[in-house]
Chains A and B, each alone.
Chain A
């Protein structure tokens, strides 16, 4: 029997651009053409003003650690505890859930507001997840 795997996202027509982006090594966000609001998660209209005129752009991939837990139990399939579940505040404004890689999963190492940068982890031929690691320099 195969090892239990990490929950795998299944794109929808509205989110496909995001997952195409991670596969191409880009973190893509949407910006409203009418009010300039940058938002996440994906949807083909602006949740601030309701305009359907929105554009996809490549985000900087930079952000900071907004908050997290270090999960001990129960662990999700595909995860070895303890592991941090983090919320990253992107430089463009929106926040997203992710994991912090290349960093000890400890309260000492995981300092709120530490600078992070996106890194991409391929799950399979269709899905690549956006992860974050401590920013260099």
Chain B
């Protein structure tokens, strides 16, 4: 895809984040969508493309009263929205539509109008994983991490530092769910969830949503907000079964999506001012730093433990506080994208000074899928 041909011109989260007991999941979608449409200075009738995940596009289009000429229901887990951005950019460039709305919302905590997620007993997961006691992401997502730690010599303390550093970012963010400072000892003494991970190494469970509006870069200059251009994109999938990953030392989906986006963007790692790596659990930023090529995997734990990703560090990472401290409604990718957009607009609560390039990397399922979007505020 060509660089900087499409821009984000509207971006917003739900009015509230956290615990939202007075809204169903579909209304959270609508709340985020209406906020993003207002942010872009548009009317509902201006939207001619729609993308969403888990909820179907027809559900959201009908609820909002939109008649789209382009639809994307890609639903590959929490990074679906990165894939939507990539697909929407291609569609806009190809002339299939002009103004795309991407919505996410989840009543992850309050569970109002939330579709059930079940694993059929005759699916491969139902036959070859479920019988062995996997039960939700905390029992599955950390399964690779002991192997990763052994292979690369990563310590429990280094992974605990991921949570500590992200809490430092969250403290700067009024909308973050958890803002009180924590220490490595706090993390390593928090309640055991699935060894080796404890409560503070697992994402939050919250309600919320977010929406983005994309249009061609040529039109973007006429919108009220500073345009944020799509510089590079990548996507891939590997397997819905964490046990069947090619290796636990790396994510194949990360290794395809990340480098594809960097190549498309024509940038190197030293050009990156701001980085988001979807952190459903504390090991993900380590996998991301390694698989996106920022450094060898052996150095990822030390890099974070040494403070390079904290406020004032040389590679600001997960500056909203991440899924560990900001919010996590179930499919966090949308919130990572929102933070990248805020950083590129220059309006983030913990703004990285003069940031010009932001890399936003998402995961779907338990390393099942991946999407990477590279944004810039310069064309």
Contact = CB atoms under 8 A, between A and B. Distances in A.
A136 interface: no
A8 B122 contact: no
Given A66-B248, A72-B192, A10 B127 contact: yes
B195 A70 contact: yes
B133 A71 contact: yes
Contacts of B128: 9, 40-41, 96-97
A97 B192 contact: no
B194 interface: yes
Interface residues of B, number: 38
B108 to A, nearest CB: 15
Interface string A94-110: 01111100000001000
Nearest to A95: B243
A43 B191 CA distance: 40
B21 interface: no
A87 B243 contact: yes
A68 B244 CA distance: 13
B72 interface: no
Contact of A95 (B120, B139, B244): B244
A8 B244 contact: no
Contacts of B195: 69-72, 82, 107
Interface stretch (B145-153, B161-169, B314-322): B145-153
B237 interface: no
Nearest to B139: A71
B258 to A, nearest CB: 23
Contact of B197 (A12, A69, A87): A69
Given A12-B122, A72-B195, A67 B147 contact: yes
A85 B142 CA distance: 10
Contacts of B64: none
B267 interface: no
A98 B136 CA distance: 16
A82 to B, nearest CB: 7
Nearest to A112: B150
Interface of A is mostly: loop
Nearest to B126: A9
B244 A74 contact: no
Interface in B113-163: 119-122, 124, 126-136, 138-140, 142-147, 150
User: How big is chain A's contact interface, by range?
Assistant: 35 or more
Contacts of B130: 7, 9, 76
Given A69-B139, A69-B142, A112-B147, A41 B244 contact: yes
Nearest to A70: B195
A87 B131 CA distance: 13
Contact of B143 (A40, A77, A83, A87): A87
Interface string B185-228: 00000011111110000000000000000000000000000000
Nearest to B141: A69
A73 B193 contact: yes
A71 B129 CA distance: 14
A7 B139 contact: no
B122 A99 contact: no
Contacts of A19: 127
15 contacts: A6-B133, A7-B126, A7-B131, A10-B126, A40-B244, A41-B128, A67-B143, A67-B145, A68-B143, A69-B142, A75-B135, A83-B133, A85-B143, A86-B132, A87-B248
In order of increasing CB-CB distance, the 9 nearest A-B pairs are A76-B135, A9-B127, A70-B195, A67-B147, A7-B130, A10-B122, A97-B243, A10-B121, A69-B194
Interface of B: 119-122, 124, 126-136, 138-140, 142-147, 150, 191-197, 241-244, 248
Interface of A: 6-12, 15, 19, 40-41, 66-79, 82-83, 85-87, 95-99, 107, 112, 123, 129
